[in-house]
Amino acid sequence: MKIILIGYRCTGKTSVGKKIAEQLGIPFYDTDEIIQSHTKKTIRAIVDEEGWIAFRAEERATIKKLSSLTDGVIAAGGGAIMDAENRNALKHKGLCVWLTADVSTIVARMRSDKASTAQRPPLSDGGLERETAEILEAREPVYQEMADCIVDTAGNGIDAVVDEVCSALDCHDSYCNERRSPAT
């Protein structure tokens, strides 16, 4: 069983993903954490020193490896799905869940997460609210295309989001099992 969590920064992919993996007894993989561990650099340092192209190449290689795994919860970086190779590697490989939140919730979470600021570079020259709104608008059609289900994390605790994802997983598995079963 594989669950792929997609969505913008600070929508809960890591927090929710760890809890789902623990609950289901399967491994958890965070693409950003794997990249930082492999390169021994923060994402901000990679981008500052080598540029976005180098970071996206690391991300692509990481996702390619993870896509071949049978079981696990994968938290993909917020922009990972903007790359066609990543979309192809992840689509139809498990339940793809788009975790969403409104701009004000995302910005509040980013401001309260000091590690996020230290480890992740800004994505544009605009202010945080404007940057978030603009990038969300650009990414939403791609998130929508990838998503098997959508879970709004704004105003919901981690446990409520985990329950909603697990319910979607139950429905997804039932649907997939029906489709795989030979007609009688």
The model carries a pTM of: 0.87
Q: What is d(CA 153, CA 4) in angstroms, rounded to the nearest whole number?
A: 16
Q: What is d(CA 9, CA 32) in angstroms, rounded to the nearest whole number?
A: 11
Q: Indicate if the pLDDT at residue 98 is higher than 60.
A: yes
Give the dihedral sign, CA 58/62/77/89: positive
Under the banding of pLDDT at 50, 70 and 90, the label for residue 91 is confident
User: Using one digit for the tens of pLDDT, what is the confidence trace for 19-45?
Assistant: 999 999 999 999 999 999 999 999 989
User: Using one digit for the tens of pLDDT, what is the confidence trace for 108-158?
Assistant: 988 887 766 556 655 555 688 888 999 999 999 999 999 999 999 998 899
- The residues with which 72 forms a beta bridge, in sequence order, are 2
Q: What is d(CA 51, CA 39) in angstroms, rounded to the nearest whole number?
A: 14
Q: What is d(CA 25, CA 13) in angstroms, rounded to the nearest whole number?
A: 17
Selection from 2, 27, 21, 31 nearest residue 162 by Cα:
21
What is the chain's length?
A: 184
What percentage of residues in the chain have a pLDDT greater than 90? 63
Question: Which pair of tokens denotes residue 82?
Answer: 């903007």
Domain 2-180, CATH: 3.40.50.300
Q: What is the mean pLDDT of the chain?
A: 86
